């Protein structure tokens, strides 16, 4: 879409196939790509920045590996459940339940705090 935005046309279909909330997939994609974006009226994901299909595929593969496939038996038949601020991956095939990392946004600059910390230790 233009020169400064990328479109992910079948975003809602992919979320449905993965059995995941679009909001969770969106948060992961945007955090990994280090950009912002939103879902438009046609359920297309519009991402700020120029990204090719390969880049988005690689991020989606990382999402599937971390939040969709079972870490024990590698089955994609899983549920993502939130229990007291921690996400758990519950496998429907083998019954395994393991915690998964929360989505962290990209680099965040620490400003001002570093000088205060150095002043205390000096």
Residue 120's pLDDT is: 61
The domain locations on the chain are 5-121
Low-confidence ranges of the chain (pLDDT < 70): 1-3, 105-122
pTM for the model: 0.75
Looking at the chain, the whole-number percentage of residues with pLDDT higher than 70 is 83
pLDDT in tens, 65-79: 988 898 888 888 888
Q: What CATH number is given for 5-121 in this structure?
A: 3.30.30.170
Instruction: Enumerate the H helices of 1-122 as residue ranges.
Output: 11-18, 22-33, 53-67, 113-121
Task: Copy the structure tokens of residue 29.
Answer: 């994609």
């Amino acid at each position: 879409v233009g020169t400064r935005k990328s479109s992910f046309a079948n975003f809602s279909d992919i979320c449905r196939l993965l059995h995941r909330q679009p909001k969770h997939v969106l948060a992961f994609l945007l955090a990994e790509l280090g950009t912002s974006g939103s879902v438009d009226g046609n359920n297309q994901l519009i991402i700020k920045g120029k990204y090719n299909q390969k880049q988005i595929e690689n991020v989606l593969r990382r999402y599937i590996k971390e939040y969709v496939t079972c870490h024990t038996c590698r089955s994609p038949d899983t549920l993502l459940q939130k229990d007291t601020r921690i996400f758990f991956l519950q496998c429907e095939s083998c019954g395994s339940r393991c915690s998964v990392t929360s989505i962290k946004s990209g680099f965040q600059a620490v400003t001002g705090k570093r000088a205060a910390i150095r002043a205390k230790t000096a």
